[in-house]
Each structure stands twice: as structure tokens, then as C-alpha cells.
A and B are shown apart, each in its own frame.
Chain A
């Protein structure tokens, strides 16, 4: 038995991209209407759509953040108390990664000043991509939600961080976790 998460994720990305397209269409339509100052003809919801300040990646990241926050509660339930920052990041890379992405990370490096680099040589959501550099641009959408997941998990464990992915050659991914000092 397997939940078709991949397919749901692909659908999510498709809808997010679609709504982004709608937003930019609404924006240009609004400009047209506004320049004509034909205010009676503004369609319902046009203004709201035109001024929505989210693009597809942000949206996916927000969803991931929410999910990460609640997922980590389940994963961390039986674990001993995590004290230091390094312990928390290690926990994310081991237990959280295994239960969410199905495998451990391959490498974790830090400069001991709040920057961690997590390396995963075969990242789950990029598994369906062919190897190589051809689709790196498209892969960004497939990493937005996982980034949110990690950020959400860290935030539930009391660490504020910025998580950014870099891909040099699919499906290997590096996540840069930059801790924000409180």
C-alpha cells in the first residue's frame, strides 16, 4: 500500500502554477480596466486576485510549513529532549527525514555559526526527474514544499531559520539552513 503523495504533490504544483497565471492575467486585466477608468465593469474578485501577493513557490512553501509544524510533533513525541541547536538539526536530518522523505540525509555540514548544509544525493520529490542538468529550472517547484516542511519542523522545535535549496545535478539536492538569531 502506498499513498500517492507524488501525484498529489504534482497536482498541487500544477494548481499553484495555474493560480499564479490567473493572478498575472488578473493583474494585466486590472491595469486595462483601471486605465480606462471603467469602474463599473470590474468583475467580482478581480481586485482581490490582482493584488494577491503570493507566487506559486510561496504558496507551496506555506503549505509545507504548516504540514512540517504538525508532522514534527508526531515524530518528536518519543524522542529525548533536544537541547542544543546541533541536536535539533541532527534530529531533523535523521528521524524527521526518515519518516517524511523515507531515507536519511547523506551529509550534514556546519560552520558552527548557524549555517548548516544538508546534502541528499537522491531527494524524494525529485526521484521522477531524469538525472542530469536539463530540468533544474523546473525542479525548483518540486523543492518549495519540502523546504517549507523543514522550516516548519525547525520552527516547531523553536528554531527560526531560512531554508533554501540548491541543485547542481538532479536528483542531488543541497539544503542550506540558515539559523536566525533571536
Chain B
């Protein structure tokens, strides 16, 4: 079993980043055709990101056993930028713009692999399409899987190539035991 799993993982590494990015691009194009409002596409992308994030959190914790338990937002941001984002997107990220008593912060991606091969038309951006919302959704999903409720949104692409993701920490989710199972 274990040797087989290792082989499998190696396989997925070989699949190219381009495949991922182009598939994502084609998917967004299809969605723009399906939904009339680009805002709906953003919502849908966020939802997809959320689902992906909650699965990625498992994968991430399985691969990185030495990641410490986070106790504050600074630590969360640190793990995201140093471990998680380089691991899945292959780019470096930095944290800036702390505000609201360490509750709000921004993650800046040095380059965005998702937008490397595409050019998002300006009229779609102004109509509410946020192309990189998938990443924001994934962060939200991943953190929710480890019981941190946050709000995340991709700041609309500015003139420079850096992508900014704004994150606001909301609360720590408590374990809720299903009714009738408490002791």
C-alpha cells in the first residue's frame, strides 16, 4: 500500500502547472457562458475554492506533520505564506496591511500562476468577476477545516502583477457535538 501511494504522489507532481492553469481558465470561460452575471461566477468560484480548501487542509496536514498549532492570526498568516501557498501554488507570498487589532491582513502573492497565461478583460473585472477568487475560497475552506472562520476575498487585479488576498478573521469555531451524542 505505502509504496503504491508514494508512486501515485510522484505521478501527480509530474502533471504540469500549465494543465492546472489552463483548465481553470477554460472552466471560468464556460462558467461565464453559463451564468449571465460575472458576480455569480465569482460566487461560484469562491464555493469551489472552499470545497477544494477543505480537502487541501487534510492533504496539507498529512504532508506537513511539523506545522505547529496556531494560536493567533499572525501564526496563521505565517503558516499560510511559508508553507501552504508555496506548497500548492509554487509562489512566495508575504503578509502585509495588518489592521483592526491583528484581525485583518492581506496576503500578497509575488506572482499569480492562475493569471500567468490569461488576460482578464477589463469589462468583466468591472462587472464583478474576481478571477483569483478560487485562491481566496481555498484559504477560507482550509481554515474552516481547522476551525478558524475567516472571510477572504481577492482584491480586484490592480495595475501591478501582484495579487492581493484580503483576509478577515471572524471567530474560532467550537466543536459542535451532534444532538444526543453529548455525555
The interface of chain A, by Cβ under 8 A from chain B, is: 1-9, 11-12, 14-15, 19, 45, 52, 59, 62-64, 66-67, 70-71, 74, 98-103, 124, 127, 145
Contacts and interface: CB of A to CB of B under 8 A. Distances in A.
A40 B29 CA distance: 32
Contacts of A145: 23
Contact of A102 (B11, B29, B113): B11
A2 B88 contact: yes
Nearest to B7: A122
Interface of B: 8-9, 11-20, 22-24, 26-27, 29-31, 34, 36, 44, 48, 51-52, 55-56, 59, 86-90, 113
Majority DSSP secondary structure for residues of B touching A: helix
Contacts of A70: 22
Contacts of A101: 15
Contacts of B16: 71, 99-100
Contacts of B34: 19, 52
B163 to A, nearest CB: 16
Contact of B24 (A6, A8, A62): A8
Given A100-B15, A100-B16, 16 more contacts: A1-B13, A2-B13, A4-B52, A11-B48, A12-B23, A12-B27, A19-B34, A62-B26, A64-B26, A71-B22, A102-B12, A102-B13, A102-B15, A103-B14, A124-B15, A145-B23
